[in-house]
Amino acid sequence: MSSRKFFVGGNWKMNGDKESLGELIMTLNTASLNDETEVVCGAPSIYLDYVRSKLDQRIGVAAQNCYKVPKGAFTGEISPAMIKDCGIEWVILGHSERRHVFGESDELIGQKVAHCLESDLGVIACIGEKLEEREAGTTEDVVFEQTKVIADNVRDWTRVVLAYEPVWAIGTGKTATPDQAQEVHEKLRGWLRENLSDAVADSVRIIYGGSVTGGNCKELAAQPDVDGFLVGGASLKPEFVEIINARS
């Protein structure tokens, strides 16, 4: 396997309350987790402080979104400065739900990436095609264009994880086959090599998201260009521990 450290993110989305998240945190804190895997949990913004205070320090915490400036008259938004003030080190940007439910453009996501990195936050940057784009044979065009806008706003790739999430597989129970995931990840790494450098292509972690479960994680994790997962629904369940340990 590559020298890239396996990375498993849990995106809790708009789920949980203090009671249920407290139980999940207890499960994670007492679980035997692979030391060779980096784990980060994406909590709802209102619970970031609570989760960081309760979760074992070996597990990172991410905000699920933020805005592109440090402060100002932006009702309902949070800034990287606020996220950092809560002791949080990561943020998820460009998730398909932000793109397709809330209408965030590639340009806005790129601006957010730039500001977060300038603010010394790690970024889990999401890309992925919709079902009609895959069926039309435009998967590469879509994910390369999304990746380019992100790449144009990155100076230091050591703080960036790329998350490939085919939109048709998120929350649908449909998962890209290991071969489908590997094919796109391999092409993305090739794009990084061609447009950036060998060093970036060899070091950046490209993780897969889209109905990852305890049942399919080991086969996905065995693919040479799959460097981890961004897990949705299963990250709220005890099986998240199995997914974290997919390479054990």
Structure tokens at 99: 């793109």
Residues 198, 192 contacting (CB under 8 angstroms): no
Find the helix or strand (DSSP H, E) in which 84 lies: helix 80-85
SS3 of residue 221 by DSSP: helix
Q: Which of 203, 118, 134 is nearest to 169 (CA)?
A: 134
- Please indicate whether residue 95 is annotated as part of the active site: yes
The one-letter amino acid code at 239 reads E
**What does the alpha-carbon distance between residue 44 and residue 88 come to, in Å, rounded to a whole number?**
12
SS3 of residue 237 by DSSP: coil
Positive or negative, the CA dihedral 177, 139, 135, 209 is positive
**What does the alpha-carbon distance between residue 21 and residue 240 come to, in Å, rounded to a whole number?**
13
* Residue from 95, 104, 129, 133 carrying the catalytic annotation: 95
> What backbone torsions phi and psi does residue 227 show, to the nearest 5 degrees?
-100, 15
* Residue from 38, 133, 165, 185 carrying the catalytic annotation: 165
- Please indicate whether residue 185 is annotated as part of the active site: no
Residues identified as active-site: 95, 165
